[in-house]
Amino acid sequence: MLFINHNCIACDACNEVCPTRAIKVADPIYTIKQEHCIMCNGYTSNPQCIEVCPMDAIMYSDLEKKAHSNI
């Protein structure tokens, strides 16, 4: 699960690369529709929104971080 934190500047970079259109334009920061986010599985090896965010505003939830660290 990914989330967007308060560092978001609503630059739209994440929205443009999301293959499932899970990024929701909101005010003042964007949000991720969890029911649509597949973390780019089947498209790329890493979530593209994280890769392109200039503010490092998109992060894994604590639960997801633990899952990735056990691999």
What pLDDT is stored for residue 62 in this prediction?
75
Quote the number of domains for the chain.
Answer: 1
What pLDDT is stored for residue 63 in this prediction?
60
Place of tokens 């499932």: 20
> 65 in a domain, yes or no?
no
Q: What is the pTM of this model?
A: 0.82
Q: Which residues pair with 67 in a beta bridge?
A: none
> 64 in a domain, yes or no?
no
Q: Over its length of 71 residues, how does the chain's per-residue pLDDT go in tens digits?
A: 999 999 999 999 999 999 999 999 998 999 999 999 999 999 999 999 999 999 999 999 876 555 555 54
SS3 of residue 67 by DSSP:
helix
CB neighbours of residue 49 within 10 Å: 24
CATH of the domain at 39: 3.30.70.20
